[in-house]
Amino acid sequence: MTTNSLPIAPKFLGIFTLSMLSVSAIVSLRNLPTTALLGTQTITFFVAAALCFFIPVALACAELSSGWPKEGGVYLWVEEAFGPHWGFLAVWLQWMESVVWLPTILSFIAATMAYLFNPELASNKIFLVSIMLFVLWSTTFLNFRGIRTSSFLSSTGVILGTLIPGVVLIVLGCSQLPAAEMKGYLNFSSAALNPGTDLSTLVTFTAILLGLGGMEIPAYHIKNVQNPRKAYPAAMFLGTLIILLIYILGSLSIAAVIPKEKMSLLGGPMQAFHLFFTAFGLNWTAPLLAALTLIGSFAILNTWIIGPSKGLLSSAREGYMPKLFMRTNAKEAPTALLYLQAICGTVLISLFVFNQSIHAAYWMINTLAAQIYLMMYFILFLALIKLRHSQPNVERAYKIPGGKLGVWCVGGLGAMTCLIALLIGFVRPADIVFQHTASQYAALLLGGIVLSCLPPVIFVWLNRRR
């Protein structure tokens, strides 16, 4: 007699590779110009973001993944806590955030590529949209080859294209900190570190949280992890340390050489490299760093192309989406969802690039992606609290210390931070010129959130009717 059993997934992901997946899912040099606008306040904002959001997310994902080490990630955790309807909503929000976010990372890749040939191409919209579409579809087809190829490219790419250029940027930038303070670019006084209460400045906190989002992405590959109950928490803590160091020191390095009024949100790191190497007489090395930065950007794009789609596939198999989206290939890649993601990305790229003000469009898309993501994290923190109460006997290799009070502190702090940052995101920043009034700006973001949440509501309604 034969039995229909699923094949055992190969265990080829260790602590280091898993930590590099978390770094590749989160760290992007493209985020540094946005945070560099804050100057030395970057330190205050990142420390606050780490304490109130990033570390709680890492702790929550470590406990949830070690207690439920199965493929599905956010969908599985929220489903265990609140049922499949809420699990579908959570994973949809995560997938939708990655779709909305695509034009920002792709525009950075295109602008960085322009520096390899002619920096003036960074303002050529035909060049930008051509490169963005080519990279989007090429990366989509690459992920048809499955997670083994994807994880290798992500972990290798983040070392070559994020860690190496990041370290070079930080070393050169730290050498310029004394001169930057003399020029007035940076101010390390206690008064300068105080962010104050101006909402147009505090709105950057929402963008920072988006830059720190993604710690749950490696959980989608948990079935390929060696000893997941121990490896995942260790990898998350190692990744956390690397991520915070790169973001804080990298932001200060760019702020040390580029005045706020001349900062480019698309090409900030390349601006910094150009200034650094011109000062040291090493202009010939700028293209090399641009090429390495491109590799790092491809790594983070590659991680986000496949991760959320695999999570959404878990909910599609439960009947919450049409059967069309359940299609996979021989490598278990969710081909139908990858096609859908690429088509949506193509539409958003066209709307983004041909906007009159690319910087304004860049900021709005970035903020909308952050708000969608914060809604997902809010649900995730509530699921963490619920599962500690409803399923206390489930074995967890890692448990947030302090018992139920500790879980309430971590989950409550994270959920409150998500809610506050989501609301602050509706405030228009002061450093960017917009064609819209403050009320129109908030209305556009609210409309984007409503449209993003509408499909899962319709799918759940149809599922209930069936």
Mean of pLDDT values over 373-391? 94
Residue 208: give its domain's CATH number.
Answer: 1.20.1740.10
DSSP 466: -
In the predicted model, is pLDDT for residue 460 greater than 70? yes
Torsion of CA 249, 250, 255, 261, to 10 degrees: -150
Q: How far apart (Å, rounded) are the C-alpha atoms in residues 14 and 342?
A: 30
Q: Which pLDDT score, from 0 to 100, does residue 427 have?
A: 85
Q: Greater confidence, 139 or 159?
A: 139
Give me the number of domains the chain comprises: 1
Mean of pLDDT values over 327-339? 80
The structure tokens listed for 216 are 């749950």
- Pick from 149-158, 268-277, 333-342: least confident: 149-158
Percent of the chain whose predicted confidence (pLDDT) is above 90: 12
In this structure, is residue 404 part of a structural domain?
yes
pLDDT confidence of 3, banded at 50, 70, 90? very low
Q: What 3-state class would DSSP assign to 464?
A: helix
383 CB-near residues (< 8 Å, 6+ apart) = 64, 77, 78, 80, 81, 82, 90
Crossing angle for the helix pair 228-255 and 55-67, nearest 10 degrees? 160
200 CB-near residues (< 8 Å, 6+ apart) = 427, 428, 429, 430
In the predicted model, is pLDDT for residue 4 greater than 50? no
Q: Is 187 exposed, middle or buried (0-12, 13-18, 19+ CB in 10 A)?
A: middle
Mean of pLDDT values over 32-46? 80
Look up the domain containing 417 and give its range.
Answer: 15-465
Helix (H) or strand (E) holding 77: helix 74-82
In the predicted model, is pLDDT for residue 1 greater than 50? no
Crossing angle for the helix pair 403-424 and 204-211, nearest 10 degrees? 130
In this structure, is residue 82 part of a structural domain?
yes
pLDDT digits (tens, 9 = 90+) for 215-268: 776 665 666 667 766 777 777 778 888 888 888 888 888 787 777 767 666 666
Cβ(75)–Cβ(88) below 8 Å: yes
Residue identified by tokens 């209460």 is 197
In the predicted model, is pLDDT for residue 7 greater than 60? no
Tell me phi and psi for residue 59, to 5 degrees: -65, -45
pTM for the whole thing?
Answer: 0.78
In this structure, is residue 25 part of a structural domain?
yes
pLDDT confidence of 8, banded at 50, 70, 90? very low
Cβ(315)–Cβ(74) below 8 Å: no
In this structure, is residue 6 part of a structural domain?
no
pLDDT digits (tens, 9 = 90+) for 76-99: 899 999 988 898 898 899 889 888
CA distances from 129 to 110, 227, 268, 292, 348 (A): 8, 43, 19, 21, 11
In this structure, is residue 10 part of a structural domain?
no
| DSSP per position, 308-365 | HHHHHHHHIIIIIS-GGGG---TT---HHHHHHHHHHHHHHHHHHHTSS-HHHHHHHH
In the predicted model, is pLDDT for residue 145 greater than 80? no
pLDDT confidence of 71, banded at 50, 70, 90? low
DSSP 428: P
In this structure, is residue 5 part of a structural domain?
no
The structure tokens listed for 465 are 């009717």
In the predicted model, is pLDDT for residue 180 greater than 60? yes
Report the amino acid identity of residue 217.
I
Q: Greater confidence, 17 or 374?
A: 374
Mean of pLDDT values over 399-408? 90
In this structure, is residue 7 part of a structural domain?
no
In this structure, is residue 91 part of a structural domain?
yes
